[in-house]
Chain A
Amino acid sequence: MSEKASDLAISIIANKLRVNTLRMIHRARASHIGSCFSAAEILACLYWDTLLINPMLPNDPSRDRFVLSKGHAAAILYSALSERGFFPVEDLESYCQDGTTLTGHVNNSVPGVEVSTGSLGHGLPVGCGLALAAKRDGSAWRTFVLVSDGELDEGSNWEAILFAPFHKLSNLVLIIDYNKIQSFGSVSEVLELNPLADKLRAFHWNVTELDGHDIPALRVALNVISAESDIPTAILAHTVKGKGVSFMEESLLWHYKSPSNEQFLAALKELEGRQ
C-alpha cells in the first residue's frame, strides 16, 4: 500500500487484525487476547499510516523502527506484519505451533519484527538506543515503542523515561496502551500509575492523551515528530482491554483465557458484524 489509507480503511484493517488474532489464539488455545485487542487501532495506524517501511526491503537502514515492548501481544503484531506483506497471511495459522518462529511472545526471527520481547521493561531502553543511533548519525528515521500500562511498574522504563528527554530524543515516540488492567487486577488496585500524564510531563516529555481507538486522533498524534521539537513524545492512549468483543471488554479474565468454540463463534460474529 503506497498511498495513505483512509480512516475507514484503517478501521477495517484494525478489525481484520482482531479477527486474525481471534483465530490464532483460539487455534493455539493461547492467551492475551484482551491485550492484543486494546492495541488494534494503534498497530493499524502505525503500519498503514505512520511507519515509513517497505516489506520488500525489511532491512532498509533508513526505515522507521517499531518495538512492541508488550511482547505478549505478539499475535496481533504478527497479524499486522503479515497483512502488511512481510510474510504470507496463511503463516499465521502456525502461531504457537511446534516448530514455528511465531512464538507466543514477540520473536524477531519473524520477518518485519525489529526486536524480540516478552519480559516487560525492555523495549523502551532498546528504543532509546535506536533513537540515539539515528540522532548521532544524523539519520531521519524514527523509533516508536508500544508499552503496556502494567509494564510501567518496571524501573527500567523510568530509567529510559529520564534518559530520553535529557538526550533530546525527539525522534522517539512512546505509546502507552493504557487499558487500565494488569495481571492481578486493575492498575489502580495493583500499583496506581496516575497521574501518569503529569509524571511524564514532569520528566519533560511532550505528552498527548487520546482515545486509543480513535483512528483520526491517533494518526495526527503518531505523526507529531517535527523539526521544532527537541523532546520525545509520549502518547497516552486510553484503551479498552478486549476492545471489539462485548464479553471480553474491560475483563481481566481475557488476559488469560482462550475462547471456547462457542465463545470463538460469538466473538467472530461480533467482529464480522463491525465490518
Chain B
Amino acid sequence: MRTAFIEHLCSLAADDERIFLVCGDLGFSVLEAFAERFPARYLNAGVAEQNMTGIAAGLALAGKTVFTYSIANFPVMRCLEQIRNDVCYHNLSVKVVAVGGGFAYGSQGYTHHGVEDLAVMSALPNIMVAAPADPVETRAITEIYADHSGPGYLRLGKAGEPVLHSPGLRLRAGQAIRVVDGKDLTIISIGGMLGTVIKAAEVLLTNGIEARILSMPFLVPLDQRAILEAANDTGAILTVEEHGRGGLGTAVGERLAIASSAVPFFPIRLDLSPIKVAGSQETLRAAQGLSVEGVVDAAQRLISRSKATV
C-alpha cells in the first residue's frame, strides 16, 4: 500500500506542481522515489511532528497541496492540535498519511498500534477520513486527495497487501464499493480487513449464506445510502474494522439508529485495552475476532438474530 501511495503521488506530482511531501524522518526506502524526483517539493522536517504539521499548514496557506507522512500514531496524535487548529480550522489542503494502521506494526508494541486514529480524525471538522483496503483503493484515494482543496486523513497498511479490486476501479469521495452482492446480510469493512471478509463470505456461501460485501474506504464522508440500502436489501449488517470504538461500527450503528432501522447489527472491532504482548498482525487481529472464523461466527450469530426477529 505504501508503495502504491508513493508511486501514485509521484505520478500526480509530475502534473501538479502544488503537490508537496513532508515527512517526520520516517519513510526510509519508501519516500526516496519522491525526494529524488521532486527535491524542491520534499521536506524531512525531522522527528518533530508538531512542527511538521504546522509547516504543512503554512505551505498550504501559500498554495501547496501538502501530504504529511509518518508511521501509525505519530502524524496523528502527537500533533493533533496542529491538525485541528492549523489544518482543519483553516480548511487547508493538508493530507495526513499514516503508514502502518491497525496492527501493521503489531510486534512493535502498543505505541505503534494505530487503533484509535479513525475515531480521533473523524471527530475533527472539514476533514475526509479514509482507510483503503488494497493498493487499488490507495491509488484512487491518493488521487481524490490530490484534487481535494481541504484536509484529508489516509490510513495505510504497510507493504505487500494483495490487490483485491480490478485496477480500473473508479471511486468517488465517500463512495463504498460493492465487492460481492448477496441477500442474507451485508458485511461492511474499512481498510485492510477486506481480504478476510472476502474469505469469510466464501465460507458462509458454502453454508448457504449469501453475504453482500461493501468495502467502505471512507469513514468521512460516509456512504449513508449504501448503508441504508444494505439494511433494506439484506436485513442484517456486520461491520469489520481493525480499530476500536468510534470508527466504522459507531458510524454505521448511528446511521441505522437515525433511520430507525431495526435490522440486526453487530460491529466486530477492537476493545480498548492496550495490548502488552508482541504479536503478528494476523495473531493480534484473530485474538479479537478479526479472522475468517471470527467473521463467519459473527455473521452466523447475526443471521440467527435476524431470523428470530422475523
Which chain A residues have a beta carbon within 8 Å of chain B's beta carbons?
Answer: 61, 65, 108, 114-119, 121-122, 124-134, 136-137, 143, 155-156, 159-160, 162-163
Contact = CB atoms under 8 A, between A and B. Distances in A.
Given A116-B90, A136-B41, A163-B55, A126 B50 contact: no
A155 B60 CA distance: 22
Given A124-B54, A126-B61, A160-B54, A119 B45 contact: no
**Which of A114, A126, A163 counts the most B-chain CB atoms under 10 A from its CB?**
A126
B86 interface: yes
B89 A126 contact: no
A147 to B, nearest CB: 13
A129 B94 CA distance: 12
A136 B40 CA distance: 6
B291 interface: no
B90 A128 contact: no
A132 B55 contact: yes
B62 A133 contact: yes
Contacts of A137: 62
Contacts of A119: 81, 85
A128 B51 CA distance: 8
B203 interface: no
Nearest to A128: B55
A223 to B, nearest CB: 22
13 contacts: A61-B63, A108-B90, A115-B90, A117-B85, A125-B50, A125-B54, A125-B57, A129-B59, A130-B58, A155-B50, A156-B82, A163-B51, A163-B55
A130 B54 contact: no
Contacts of B54: 122, 124-126, 128-129, 156, 160
A162 B54 CA distance: 14
B59 A159 contact: no
Contacts of B55: 125-126, 128-129, 132, 160, 163
Contacts of B95: none
Contacts, number: 89
A117 B58 CA distance: 13
Most A Cβ at <10 Å: residue of B55, B57, B60: B55
A156 B51 CA distance: 6
B90 A127 contact: no
Q: What is the predominant secondary structure among interface residues of chain B facing chain A? A: helix
Query: Which 6 A-B residue pairs are closest in the complex by CB-CB distance?
Result: A129-B58, A125-B54, A133-B62, A159-B51, A129-B55, A159-B48
Contacts of A127: 58
A129 B56 contact: yes
B167 interface: no
Interface string B159-182: 000000000000000000000000
B125 interface: no
A127 B43 CA distance: 15
Given A117-B85, A128-B55, 13 more contacts: A116-B90, A119-B81, A122-B86, A124-B54, A125-B51, A125-B55, A125-B86, A126-B58, A128-B54, A130-B61, A133-B63, A156-B82, A159-B48
A86 to B, nearest CB: 17
B58 to A, nearest CB: 2
Nearest to A71: B85
Contacts of B41: 136
Given A132-B59, A163-B48, A118 B43 contact: no
A125 B85 contact: no
Contacts of B64: 133
A114 B61 contact: yes
B9 to A, nearest CB: 17
B27 interface: no
Given A61-B63, A156-B51, A133 B58 contact: yes
B46 interface: yes
A126 B94 CA distance: 12
B81 to A, nearest CB: 6
B138 interface: no
Nearest to A117: B85
B70 to A, nearest CB: 14
